[in-house]
Structure formats: structure tokens, C-alpha cells
């Protein structure tokens, strides 16, 4: 006769029941007390709701009357995104090589990683605020901001790709007495080119999205147009801009996705 057990339970994530239920209780208590003690002014929220109602009421129907302004804003955003992508990628390639452990000596590696970490640690809006202060309102601040943003993303992923390359060709070039740069050009570049192009296209799409955001803090492009429209209580125009932003981003995402699939 078989005496095999017929009950089985998945082991709980935290084995100790006291610790498990204690942790659940602690989370509940913390969330409830924090919410209760935060200075949330319900009267103001109630007033705000009616204000939100006015904004949305004023926004319908969206107004495309000043479409020239809209188009100009978008073209500027597109220019910002393209220039920032080109500049960002040109700077990302050497930084990525500096941040690849299998290519450079340890001190250089730390410098490369540090640049990437700094570029990644601030949200584009914060970087934009700094650059707007530094070089003034307008698209140039936007371009600088998005270059920093591009480096943080492209250089990091490219460095990871460089660290994954097949070391065989590098060994072969070394054995043939090739100089350092020639080795990179022949043995490393061909292996990372595909990823580089994919990242570039993705980053262009991403920069276009981000350029709308950083424009709000004064870095030019459609974001600036949107901020102005809000400032002037032109809620109908603001809605039109928002709709077009969503549309353009959907299109650019579809296009970049299609291209990246093709080259994969």
C-alpha cells in the first residue's frame, strides 16, 4: 500500500509565521498612520475639484486655431530631439568604451562608470532647470539636457553590450600585432554596431517624449508652448497640444519599434 502524502502546500515566502504576520501588520499600520498624519487639506481638495472641472470645461472643445504655434513648437521639439540624439550618441560611444571593464584599465573604467552614474542620477527635469539657469531659456538648454539624458541611457547599455562581446576576435587582432584603436574598429565595433543603431533609434523616440517635458521648465520646444498656454488660461489650446503630443509619441514609438524589429 502506498502511504504517499496527498497534501502539499507551497512554502510561504517568509518561513517564520511570527515574522510573516508581524511584517504584514507593520505595513498596514504604517500606511494608515502616515496617511492619517500627512497634512492633507480636504477643503482645498474640494475647491480644487471644482477648479479642475472649470479647466476641463474650458478645454472642450480643443482649439486648433493657433496651429502655427503648435507646429512651430513641435518642429522645435523635433530639432531638439534630433540634435540631442546625435550629440548624445557621439559622446556615448567613447564613454561606453571607457565604462567597459574588458576594454580599459580599472582607473579609466571607474571614470567611465562615474560619468554614466552622474548622468543617470538626475531626472531630465532637474537637469533642465540647471541648464535653463546656466544658458538661459530656450532650445539650447533643452539640447544640453537631453544630451545628458542620452548619455545616461545609451552609454550604459552600450557599455554592457561591449562587455558581452565574443573576446575571440580581439585575441586574434592582438596576436596579429594590431594597435589598440584598430583592434576596437575591427574586433569590437562590428559586434556592437547593431545594438548601437537600435539604441540610437530608441533614444530619438525617447528624447522626443522628454523634450515635451523639459520644455515646461523653459527648455524650449512644444513643452514651452504648452506651459505658455496653461499660463494664459488657454485650456482649449492646451488640450489640443496635449492631444497632438500623445499622437506624435504613438507614431514615433510605432516607427522606432518597427525599425528596431527590422534590424534585430
Decide if residue 137 touches another protein (CB under 8 A): no
Q: Does residue 187 touch another protein according to CB under 8 A?
A: yes
In whole angstroms, the minimum distance from the beta carbon of 83 to another protein comes to 25
Q: Give min distance, CB of 225 to another protein, in A.
A: 43
Q: Is 176 in the site for another protein (CB under 8 A)?
A: yes
* Residue closer to another protein, measured from CB, 188 or 213: 188
**Distance separating alpha carbons of residues 75 and 3, to the nearest angstrom:** 76
105 binds another protein (CB under 8 A): no
**Phi and psi dihedrals of 67, rounded to 5?**
-65, -25
Tally of CB atoms within 10 A around 221: 30
Q: Does 102 bind another protein (CB under 8 A)?
A: no
> 179, 231, 261, 262: which one contacts another protein (CB under 8 A)?
179
- Contact segment (CB under 8 A) with another protein among 69-77, 103-111, 168-176, 233-241 equals 168-176
Angle ∠(209,260,83) on CA atoms, nearest 5: 45
Chain CA centroid to CA 154, Å: 10
Q: What is the dihedral of CA 205, 207, 213, 216, to 10 degrees?
A: -130
Judged by CB, which is closer to another protein: 62, or 169? 169
* Position among 190, 243, 247, 255 found at the interface with another protein (CB under 8 A): 190
Nearer to another protein, 159 or 165 (CB): 165
Comparison of 69 and 178: residue with beta carbon closer to another protein: 178
| d(C-alpha 172, C-alpha 31), whole Å | 60
101 and 161 in contact (C-beta within 8 Å)?
A: no
Nearer to another protein, 133 or 174 (CB): 174
- Residue with the three cell numbers 515646461: 216
Interface with another protein: number of residues (CB under 8 A): 21
Buried-exposed string 44-67: b where 16+ CB fall within 10 A, e elsewhere: eeeeeeeeeeeeeeebeebbeeee
Q: Positive or negative CA dihedral for 187, 188, 192, 196? A: negative
Report the nearest approach of another protein to the CB of residue 93 (Å): 14
Segment lying near another protein (by CB under 8 A), choices 18-26, 62-70, 190-198, 244-252: 190-198
Residues that bind another protein (CB under 8 A): 168-169, 171-179, 181-183, 185-187, 190-191, 193-194
Amino acid at each position: 500500500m502506498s502511504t504517499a502524502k496527498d497534501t502539499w502546500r507551497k512554502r510561504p515566502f517568509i518561513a517564520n509565521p511570527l515574522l510573516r504576520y508581524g511584517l504584514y501588520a507593520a505595513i498596514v499600520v504604517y500606511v494608515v498612520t502616515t496617511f492619517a498624519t500627512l497634512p492633507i487639506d480636504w477643503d482645498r481638495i474640494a475647491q480644487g475639484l471644482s477648479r479642475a472641472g472649470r479647466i476641463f470645461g474650458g478645454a472642450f472643445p480643443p482649439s486648433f486655431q493657433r496651429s502655427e504655434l503648435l507646429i512651430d513648437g513641435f518642429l522645435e521639439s523635433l530639432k531638439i530631439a534630433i540634435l540631442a540624439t546625435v550629440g548624445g550618441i557621439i559622446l556615448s560611444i567613447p564613454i561606453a568604451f571607457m565604462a567597459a571593464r574588458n576594454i580599459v584599465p580599472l582607473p579609466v573604467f571607474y571614470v567611465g562608470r562615474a560619468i554614466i552614474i552622474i548622468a543617470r542620477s538626475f531626472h531630465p527635469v532637474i537637469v533642465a532647470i540647471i541648464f535653463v539657469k546656466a544658458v538661459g531659456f530656450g532650445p539650447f538648454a533643452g539640447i544640453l539636457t537631453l544630451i545628458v539624458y542620452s548619455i545616461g541611457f545609451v552609454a550604459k547599455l552600450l557599455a554592457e553590450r561591449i562587455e558581452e562581446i565574443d573576446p575571440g576576435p580581439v585575441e586574434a587582432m592582438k596576436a596579429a600585432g594590431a594597435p589598440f584603436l584598430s583592434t576596437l574598429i575591427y574586433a569590437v565595433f562590428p559586434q556592437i554596431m547593431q545594438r548601437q543603431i537600435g539604441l540610437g533609434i530608441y533614444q530619438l523616440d525617447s528624447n522626443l517624449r522628454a523634450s515635451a517635458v523639459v520644455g515646461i521648465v523653459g527648455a524650449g520646444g512644444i513643452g514651452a508652448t504648452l506651459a505658455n498656454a496653461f499660463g494664459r488660461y488657454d485650456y482649449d489650446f492646451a488640450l489640443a497640444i496635449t492631444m497632438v503630443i500623445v499622437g506624435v509619441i504613438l507614431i514615433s514609438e510605432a516607427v522606432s519599434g518597427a525599425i528596431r524589429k527590422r534590424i534585430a
